[in-house]
Amino acid sequence: MNCLVTGGAGFIGTNLVEELVRKGNRVRVIDNLSVSDCNVGFLKGIGADLMVEDIANYEGIRGLFEAIDVVFHLAAMNRAQRSIEDPLAANSANITGTLNVLEASRRMGVKRFINISSSSVYAGVRDGLLSEDMPLAPPHPYGVGKLAGEHYVRIYHQLYNLSTVTLRYFSVYGPRQLGDIEKAGVIARFIHLASSGKPLEIYGDGEQQRNFTYISDVVQLTIKSSDQAKAVGEIINVANPKEVSVNYLSAVVEKVIGKPLEKRYLQKLSGDPERNPADVSKADKLLGFIPKIDFQEGIEKTVEWYKSCKP
């Protein structure tokens, strides 16, 4: 297939591109490199076609969708705290950008559009599971943007007959996730701090729980969704069903690193839910999704990658 991956120079994007190329697909990447350009050499080395463009600029990206079979739309201004600090930029990337990518896909006759959404569309719950059909009230602009993008995807499927699938990712982690950038993911951040001899920064009491999901499991399901007819028009949670607290995460990182780690507890972040427990029955039913990598193994693989990249 001819595939296009928006946000393909990022953490999840490069892992997805690598697997698509390994499976024999031709891959074009659109990324504005606003977070980092550290993966540019890697993408070129595996034969991906990298186009440095911003999805918020429709005229700049439209022609790049010509002769594309499948679009994987990952590009976003992610992280809740970034969106709280700069809601206008979040709106431009996550709502206008998604609309631009959808319109370019429609105009150029793309056969399948895989939209990557987020557990951030949920407000979080204390009891029960987060299911795809429950009422939604995102607690921050990032979640609102992702939900608006989901509605645009639905409209393009219903009005324009674009074959779409929306995947809601939950707390993805693994190799190539940067821990030294602003608002880094907690696992990457912990590994970076631990490897640098600095205390782990834990917001709140550390008892907040997440469905941390290893990157290879996410990538395999994402690719599978691109050729399954029964997934078309659906919204599907993508998560490891096991919940893990931030305190437990810190203990596992300490065990894998192999030395005691200092912890520093900070004020709880606004908009940070206590739990995001995922209902993954739909992913299992439609796509046969059963995560293969357990939590400690995933941390071990991530630490091993981080160590191999240190100078």
Co-location of 121 and 186 in the same domain: no
Co-location of 140 and 163 in the same domain: yes
Co-location of 106 and 132 in the same domain: yes
Co-location of 182 and 87 in the same domain: no
Check residue 270 and give its pLDDT.
Answer: 72
Check residue 178 and give its pLDDT.
Answer: 86
Co-location of 133 and 264 in the same domain: no
Check residue 201 and give its pLDDT.
Answer: 93
Is residue 52 domain-resident?
Answer: yes
For the chain of 311 residues, list the mean pLDDT of each consecutive stretch of 10: 97 97 98 93 97 98 98 92 92 97 98 96 79 92 96 98 98 92 86 93 92 97 97 97 95 95 90 84 96 96 88 46
pTM: 0.92
Co-location of 153 and 54 in the same domain: yes
Co-location of 251 and 122 in the same domain: no
Q: What is the CATH number of the domain that holds 27?
A: 3.40.50.720
Co-location of 253 and 129 in the same domain: no
Check residue 271 and give its pLDDT.
Answer: 67
Co-location of 202 and 217 in the same domain: no
- The whole domain housing 264 covers 175-210+242-276+292-309
Is residue 190 domain-resident?
Answer: yes
Check residue 311 and give its pLDDT.
Answer: 46
Q: What is the CATH number of the domain that holds 183?
A: 3.90.25.10
Is residue 283 domain-resident?
Answer: no
Co-location of 248 and 189 in the same domain: yes
Check residue 84 and give its pLDDT.
Answer: 92
Co-location of 49 and 166 in the same domain: yes
Is residue 281 domain-resident?
Answer: no
Q: How many domains does the chain have?
A: 2
DSSP class per residue in the chain: -EEEEETTTSHHHHHHHHHHHHTT-EEEEEE--SS--TTHHHHHHTT-EEEE--TT-HHHHGGGGTT-SEEEE------HHHHHH-HHHHHIIIIIHHHHHHHHHHHTT-SEEEEEEEGGGS---SSS-B-TTS----SSHHHHHHHHHHHHHHHHHHHH---EEEEEE-SEE-TT--SSSTT--HHHHHHHHHHTT--EEEETTS--EE--EEHHHHHHHHHHTTS-GGGTT-EEEE--S--EEHHHHHHHHHHHHTS---EEEEPPPTT--S---B--HHHHHHH-------HHHHHHHHHHHHHHH--
Catalytic site residue 306?
no
Is residue 286 domain-resident?
Answer: no
Co-location of 81 and 116 in the same domain: yes
58, 122, 142, 265: the active-site residue = 142
